[in-house]
């Protein structure tokens, strides 16, 4: 999967959980609509396959989003599960990996 689907699956449950850490729905959608780095979340993929995404919001703040993909009414939708801003050490690791990718 190179790019994520363009549409999102929101309801009161995932909207509340994602906003619990101060991250807005708009920030999550912008991050996931762009070019975040993402990978399977094998540790938490029990009932459905989950993914981890990292990237920056429009203000440059590093974010971490957990999401899954769901088929609904014939469309494949991105369903955010959890979102938060990265801690300083996580951001430093993200920067280090990003520079490796750009230099590579």
Query: In this predicted model, what pLDDT tens digit does every residue of 27-64 receive, in sequence order?
Result: 999 999 988 988 999 887 778 899 999 998 888 899 99
pLDDT in tens, 17-37: 999 999 999 999 999 998 898
Helix axes 12-19, 25-33, angle to 10 degrees: 90
CA-angle at 34, arms to 29 and 36, nearest 5°:
95
Better-scored residue on pLDDT, 73 or 100: 73
Backbone φ, ψ for residue 35 (5° rounding): -125, 60
End-to-end, the C-alpha distance of the chain in Å comes to 21
Residues 66, 83 contacting (CB under 8 angstroms): yes
Task: Look at residue 102 and tell me whether its pLDDT is greater than 60.
Answer: no
């Amino acid at each position: 999967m190179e790019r994520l689907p363009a549409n999102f699956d929101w309801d009161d449950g995932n909207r509340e959980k994602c906003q619990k850490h101060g991250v807005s729905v708009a920030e999550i959608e912008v991050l996931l609509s762009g070019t975040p780095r993402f990978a399977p979340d094998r540790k938490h993929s029990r009932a459905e396959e989950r993914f981890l995404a990292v990237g920056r919001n429009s203000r440059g703040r590093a974010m971490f989003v957990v999401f899954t993909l769901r088929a609904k009414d014939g469309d494949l939708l991105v369903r955010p599960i959890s979102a938060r801003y990265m801690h300083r050490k996580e951001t430093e690791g993200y920067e280090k990996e990003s520079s490796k990718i750009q230099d590579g």
